[in-house]
């Protein structure tokens, strides 16, 4: 905020809400929403914000509007997790929702999602497949599909998502926006329908990194205090671990070049690039759905699915994944945990000298038709780089990094738990407007 | 050690080995051993110890002999875990064994045990049921049955056990000796056949608390440095949480009085007794075998049991428990983990003002005939107070506390992780010879 600006004399929050509903009408993307609030309700909230602001209240997010993924509790709206028959009416906002409201942000509604947050595509919903913000022939990514598209289309300034396998990062990448996946535990997960309860995070989307960081500060603390301090590190330039594109498996055409360009941009900004073997990250990623960890999804909603087998509002792909997870034996979970611990030790050791690791957010971007033709395979491919982050207890920041054939290309910076601020500082090197050449060097 | 004693002029270690083998012949308890070393081998090791001692080597455990539970690797002896067809020949001593040897203790052999450390009775072994040291009609307790009896009968000075459900404490109680169950992680578990790999501890038995503590110091550190420091605590008398006997469920006749006497002895020694509800401890205890955690045993040896189904050397009770564990679904493990976390939070909160909690080690002491009549029920009852210790990541010390009808009665002090020294200091109030009345007060 520019300190020379006088307190808003105009009704900032109300104007922002009106613009949001005008934009909703303009874009004609009804599948973005599960429950969009009536405009009058949102305007009334905004008028309250404007009045409090005029009275001198400190409301740092006043003038912003936000959307909330359908698996996060919002008082007076049903929590559906993308499944109408699962819906319940929460008594209170989830803490993450309450903290944004307390800072002056006005809620627009709840957004569409891959059912039970089980998917990275954005098509697994009885509320309709969420189309990509840039090219509607392509998927939006998921599971936080509606939240990401609402931000990308300029409807909302901020949106809450969740992230277990990559649901707060894949749709950021596909729609050209920022997605912050904070360290597990920084943002309360009370009032969130569990996917894998031990891995789930609340995430935030915004169009720019500073907006996302400001929102995250409020999500972490009701007072909006800063994120965890930058950790102690060896002085000198940022050190970024960057795998060779050949080690990343099959990427969509042009993606290896786009990834290399992002790495070069970091180097041009003064970062030191280090080699790293991504194998433990990719091997652990495959364990999230192919191993025993998926059984945690059955622990969360398996009893509901068993009681509603065959119901028309169940996504058949999601229901199949979770039903099969119910039959996985517990002894496999112990074996997988031991294997994961070994992979995690290798992964952390490989990052010991680095401040962060750079990865493409996904290996590629499928169309809606691609996903319809191979619902499981297309989805599994998308998690190759994101699925291991929460299994390894890491933090991640997903940011746009240019375009490939007219579609957004995105990268992630991932790092140890509680390096959230470090990752954002490094990501800022990628998202800042390029400096004039005369200034660089 | 008395500092005025000159260096041993006699062959201390060799004499101790000869006495041990004489005692073995005298007591006629062949079921104690799985592989007893030839006396000449042990004597040769002892002669080396004596020679090194005479040459000025620092060997704090010189002159002691020890036994090792059959699930712990000893170079040149098979590791059986109580199952002959499972046996393998380890290349090296487990670190716990190596550390005792490095301090000058001489190994006698490997001891009988409940197969795959699955049991608290001491009868589940193809090498024979291990009879109680005091009254052979009663069980020895298990699974570290042979180790405890070897110490109780004066054959060995020290013995290694393991403890997942209480295997390092129940046989201590039943045979009137001391069993230290250190905090998980203090003693390396490399070279130990896993029971529940995430819960297993190496334990030590001795006839007195100082001997057990001295051995534990060497097990924790190759240099025999002291155990973890006493934690910061509020000054004043020890505060011991003691449940009412009525909250402990059915106890054997006379056991409630014996337990009350132990509590009174602590109070007489100056400790302050606090009330505590043992419910979360007892509820968690039931989860170790009745819930999903038992599947970790299948992860350890299930493939072996499947490949050897029906083999004559499998204990049918143990094989049945582990085979059934193979069918437990993973989603139950997630649900049990959540329930355990809640119980642990209650349990730790209930001990927040206490330095330790006093419990009977078991609710009773069955005969061999009792266990034969109800192999599962009699065993399950024995774990009521011990099963939750490792699930809650606590430390424990089991010490004798008198007799009931001519059989040893034992109690445990349990406390937070790394309070091992505190627990031993408190336990010393129970095991020290009573002071003359004139000195007390």
- From A140, A167, A350, A388, active-site residue: A167
List chain A pLDDT tens, one digit each, 441 residues: 444 444 444 569 999 999 999 999 999 999 999 999 999 999 999 999 999 999 999 999 999 999 999 999 999 999 999 999 999 999 999 999 999 999 999 999 999 999 999 999 999 999 999 999 999 999 999 999 999 999 999 999 999 999 999 999 999 999 999 999 999 999 999 999 999 999 999 999 999 999 999 999 999 987 777 666 677 787 899 999 999 989 999 999 999 999 999 999 999 999 999 999 999 999 999 999 899 999 999 999 999 999 999 999 999 999 999 999 999 999 999 999 999 999 999 999 999 999 999 999 999 999 999 999 999 999 999 999 999 999 999 999 999 999 999 999 999 999 999 999 999 999 999 987 755 544 333
A69 belongs to the catalytic site: yes
Please report the sign of the dihedral spanned by the C-alpha atoms of residue A243, residue A247, residue A250, residue A256.
Answer: positive
Q: CA neighbours within 13 Å on the CB side: how many for B170?
A: 39
Q: Which residues of A, range 250-289, sit inside 8 Å of B by Cβ? A: none
Instruction: Establish if B236 touches chain A: CB-CB under 8 angstroms.
Output: no
What's phi and psi for B135, nearest 5 deg? -140, 105
| CA separation for the pair A15, B422 (Å, rounded) | 65
Residues of B in contact with A325 (CB under 8 A): 330-331
Residue B134: alpha-carbon gap to chain centroid: 18
| CA separation for the pair A162, A147 (Å, rounded) | 10
DSSP A351-374: TTT-SEEEEES-S---BHHHHHH-
Structure confidence by residue, pLDDT tens digits, B27-55: 999 999 999 999 999 999 999 999 999 99
Helix (H) or strand (E) holding A213: helix A209-220
> How many percent of chain B have pLDDT more than 90?
90
Residues of B in contact with A291 (CB under 8 A): none
| CA separation for the pair A251, B239 (Å, rounded) | 63
Structure confidence by residue, pLDDT tens digits, A268-310: 999 999 999 999 999 999 999 899 999 999 999 999 999 999 9
Here the ipTM equals 0.82
What's phi and psi for A127, nearest 5 deg? -85, 5
pLDDT band at residue B6, thresholds of 50, 70 and 90? Answer: very low
Mutate: best of B294, B295, B330, B340, partner A, most A CBs <10 A: B330
pLDDT band at residue B231, thresholds of 50, 70 and 90? Answer: confident
SS3 category, B420: helix
Alpha helices, H only, A144-185: 145-152, 170-175
Residue B221 clears pLDDT 90, i.e. is over it: no
Q: Which of B246, B239, B242 lies closest to B261, judged by CA?
A: B242
| CA separation for the pair B435, B291 (Å, rounded) | 46
Specify which residues A410 forms β-bridges with: A400
Q: Which residues of A398-418 are buried (b: 16+ CB within 10 A; e: fewer)?
A: bbbbbebeebbbbbbbbbbeb
- The packing angle between helices B279-290 and B375-382, to 10°, is 140
Instruction: Establish if A292 touches chain B: CB-CB under 8 angstroms.
Output: yes
Instruction: Establish if A306 touches chain B: CB-CB under 8 angstroms.
Output: no
For B242-334, list the strands marked E by DSSP: 272-274
DSSP B86-129: G-B--SS--HHHHHHHHTT-EEEEEE--SGGG--SSS---TT-P
Name residues whose C-beta falls within 8 Å of residue B5's C-beta, 6 or more positions apart in sequence: none
- The packing angle between helices A209-220 and A420-431, to 10°, is 160
Q: What is the dihedral of CA B146, B149, B154, B157, to 10 degrees?
A: 60
Q: CA neighbours within 13 Å on the CB side: how many for A414?
A: 26
Task: Determine the average pLDDT of the residues in B75-88.
Answer: 97
Cβ atoms of A149 and A175 within 8 Å: the answer is yes
Structure confidence by residue, pLDDT tens digits, B247-275: 999 999 999 999 999 999 999 999 999 99
Cis bond upstream, residue A143 (ω within 30): yes
Structure confidence by residue, pLDDT tens digits, B301-311: 999 999 999 99
What's phi and psi for B156, nearest 5 deg? -105, 150
Residue B208 clears pLDDT 60, i.e. is over it: yes
In angstroms, the separation between the Cα of residue A10 and the nearest Cα of chain B is 50
Q: pTM of the full predicted structure?
A: 0.87
Q: Is the Cβ pair B335, A299 closer than 8 Å?
A: yes
pLDDT of A226 reads 65
Residue B436 clears pLDDT 60, i.e. is over it: no
pLDDT of B10 reads 57
Instruction: Establish if A290 touches chain B: CB-CB under 8 angstroms.
Output: no
In order of A16, A18, B372, the CA distances from A43 in angstroms are: 9, 7, 76
SS3 category, A176: coil
- From B144, B145, B147, B167, active-site residue: B167
Residues of B in contact with A328 (CB under 8 A): 329-331
B350 belongs to the catalytic site: no
pLDDT of A7 reads 45
């Amino acid at each position: 905020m520019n300190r020379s600006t006088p307190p808003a004399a105009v009704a900032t929050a109300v104007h922002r809400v009106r613009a949001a509903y005008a934009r909703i009408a303009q874009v004609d993307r009804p599948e973005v929403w599960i429950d969009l609030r009536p405009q009058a309700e949102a305007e009334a909230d905004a008028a309250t914000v404007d009045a409090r602001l005029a009275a001198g209240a400190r409301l740092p997010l006043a003038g912003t509007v936000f959307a909330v993924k359908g698996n996060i509790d919002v008082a007076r709206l049903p929590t559906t997790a993308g499944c109408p028959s699962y819906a319940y009416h929460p008594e209170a906002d989830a803490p993450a929702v309450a903290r944004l409201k307390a800072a002056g942000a006005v809620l627009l509604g709840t957004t569409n999602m891959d059912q039970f947050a089980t998917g990275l595509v954005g098509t697994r919903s009885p509320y309709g497949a969420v189309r990509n913000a840039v090219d509607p022939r392509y998927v939006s990514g998921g599971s936080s599909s509606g939240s990401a598209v609402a931000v990308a289309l300029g409807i909302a300034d901020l949106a809450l998502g969740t992230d277990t396998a990559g649901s707060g990062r894949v749709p950021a990448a596909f729609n050209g926006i920022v997605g912050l996946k904070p360290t597990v535990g920084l943002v309360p997960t009370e009032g969130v329908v569990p996917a894998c309860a031990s891995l789930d995070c609340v995430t935030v989307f915004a169009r720019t990194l500073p907006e996302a960081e400001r929102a995250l500060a409020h999500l972490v603390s009701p007072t909006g205090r800063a994120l965890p301090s930058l950790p102690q590190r060896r002085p000198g330039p940022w050190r970024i671990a960057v795998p060779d594109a050949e080690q990343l498996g099959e990427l969509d055409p042009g993606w290896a070049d786009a990834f290399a360009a992002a790495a070069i941009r970091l180097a041009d900004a003064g970062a030191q690039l280090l080699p790293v073997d991504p194998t433990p990250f990719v091997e652990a990623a495959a364990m999230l759905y192919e191993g025993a960890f998926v059984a945690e999804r059955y622990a969360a909603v398996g009893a509901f699915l068993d009681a509603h087998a065959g119901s028309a509002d169940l996504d058949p792909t999601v229901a199949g994944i979770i039903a099969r997870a119910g039959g996985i034996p517990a002894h496999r979970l112990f074996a997988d945990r031991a294997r994961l611990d070994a992979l995690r030790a290798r992964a952390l050791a490989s990052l010991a000298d680095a401040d962060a690791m750079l990865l493409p957010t996904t290996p590629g971007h499928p169309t809606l038709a691609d996903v319809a033709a191979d619902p499981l395979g297309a989805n599994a491919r998308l998690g190759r780089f994101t699925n291991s982050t929460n299994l390894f207890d890491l933090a991640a920041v997903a940011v746009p990094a240019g375009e490939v054939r007219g579609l957004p290309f995105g990268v992630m910076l991932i790092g140890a738990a509680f390096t959230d601020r470090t990752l954002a500082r490094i990501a800022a090197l990628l998202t800042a407007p390029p400096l004039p050449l005369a200034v660089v060097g």
